[in-house]
Structure 1
Amino acid sequence: MTHTPKHIVAAAAYVTNDQGQVLLVKTYHRQDTWELPGGQVEEGETLEEAVIREVEEESGIVMAITGVSGVYQNTQSGVMVIMFVGKMMSGTLRTSEETQAVQPFPGSV
């Protein structure tokens, strides 16, 4: 017997550059807000692989994970997000099919 999953697992990241700015993206899905890059974990993918892939896909930035800041759950949508902390290592800021804008903003942890 197969059961439908009760949760969707996603990974997102608070990624900073050497100046302490945090990377934020504006998606086409939610055009009125800036948010941390991230997305759904694909089957067979680790949480770490997922967040690194999502950050690069959405922003062009390759990140290094430095920690985990928390696990968050939206009970209405069934989404559970593991929030990573990381540093920008390489890449060039760019938009993607998912993002209409990508920009570093002043930030602090």
Structure 2
Amino acid sequence: MPKVISSVKALILHKGKYLFLKEEFHKNDIWDLPGGKIEYGETPYNALHREVKEELNIEIEIEKSIGVWWFFSKNNKHEVICHTFLCKPKKGFTIDLTHNPAAENIFLIFG
């Protein structure tokens, strides 16, 4: 039986535009939202704050839940349940990827 993983994603709205991450993966571009796995004992809210801080080094305000969706991983080894939230950055934010080792392959797009 596949393992079930709970995760969170942040759709960040800033000045009327949405933030997406563009990551190069095996010579292909993948567009995604900031987020990741919910750790044992974490609430979805706590996990979202932690993941966005780790990936973008900013603090966010969570506006509302905009959906829950699920899918199977590419290799069908596990299911993923993803909670997605509309967020906005706290005032005075600056996105800084210099602390993130994966940042060399991440580009920020407000589209």
For this structure pair, what is the TM-score category when the shorter chain's length is used for normalisation? 0.7 to 0.9
Query: What is the match of residue 83 of structure 1?
Result: 84
Unaligned runs of 5+ in 2: none
Query: What is the match of residue 106 of structure 2?
Result: 101
Q: 1:93 touches 1:102 (CA, 8 Å); kept in 2?
A: no
Aligned residue type for 1:39:
G
Give the total of aligned pairs: 102
Q: 1:12 touches 1:37 (CA, 8 Å); kept in 2?
A: yes
Identity of aligned pairs, percent?
31
Query: What is the match of residue 5 of structure 2?
Result: 8
Identify the structure with the greater helix proportion. 2
Please identify runs of 4+ aligned residues in structure 1 that moved more than 6 A: none
Q: Could you report, residue by residue, the CA deviation over 1:6-43 in whole angstroms, capped at 9, with x for unpaired residues? A: 410000110111x1121222346676122100000011
Cα distance change, pair 28–46 in 1 and its aligned pair in 2 (3 A): farther
Distance in 1 between the 2:2 and 2:88 partners? 32
TM-score by length of 1: 0.79
Paired residue for 2:48, among 39, 47, 51? 51
SS, match of residue 46 in structure 2 = helix
Cα-Cα RMSD: 2.2
Q: Could you report, residue by residue, the CA deviation over 1:23-81 in whole angstroms, capped at 9, with x for unpaired residues? A: 22234667612210000001111100001111111112211000001001003440100
TM superposition shift of 1:104: 3.8
**Which range moves more in the overlay, 71-80 or 39-48?**
71-80
Unaligned runs of 5+ in 1: none
